[in-house]
Amino acid sequence: MTDSAEGLDEIDRTLVRELVADGRATLAELAAVTGLSVSAVQSRVRRLESRGVVAGYSARVDPEAFGHMLSAFVAITPLDPSQPDDAPARLEHIAEIEACFSVAGEESYILFVRVESPRALEGLLQQIRTAANVRTRSTIILNTFYSDRVHLP
């Protein structure tokens, strides 16, 4: 694997910061911010993309605009340690699960989920427990102060 972050200069960091803030920023806008020409910016952005520093572009969706008003962390623990532990695969089809991590803590996995309501969370937890044969411990999110911030080297 190539050391992709090596040789990231201040201009590259500016470009990445700008593209995180606005993934559809035009090359002309990026040129204005950095003081470079459009084509210089273009080749730098392409280099960032091919190095994998910029892995892609995505629309930011507001979950509350869909009525998904409740989000929570759900920590899960397999109930039967003798069974093969394939919880992530068994849960992948559940759309309400936005993220799935395995962790080194008291529990085995942490899920990040979004639902409409407390009632919907109850249903989701039952679905999770039966799909993966796990115990769940939920932590409701009250307020998101900030999220998805990026910090560059």
Partner DNA sequence: AATGAAATTCAAGGGAT
Partner DNA sequence: ATCCCTTGAATTTCATT
Q: Which residues bind DNA (CB under 7 A)?
A: 7, 11, 26-29, 35-40, 42-44
Contacts of 127 (CB under 8 A, 6+ apart): 94
Question: CA distances (Å), 139 to each of 3, 68, 103, in order?
Answer: 38, 16, 16
Q: Are 134 and 87 in contact (CB under 8 A)?
A: yes
- Which two tokens mark 57? 């572009």
Cβ-based neighbour number of residue 15 at 10 Å: 24
Cβ-based neighbour number of residue 81 at 10 Å: 8
What does 74 interact with, of a second copy, DNA, none (CB < 5 to 8 A by kind)? none
Closest approach of a second copy to the CB of residue 142, in Å: 5
User: Please, which residue, 26 or 139, has the CB nearer to DNA?
Assistant: 26
Sole window of 27-35, 57-65, 77-85, 127-135 interacting with a second copy (rule: CB under 8 A): 57-65
Interface residue with a second copy among 5, 32, 69, 79 (CB under 8 A) is 5
**61 lies in the binding site for a second copy (CB under 8 A):** yes
- Residues lying near a second copy in the complex (CB under 8 A): 4-5, 8, 16, 19-24, 51-63, 65-68, 73, 88, 92, 95-105, 110, 112, 114, 139-153
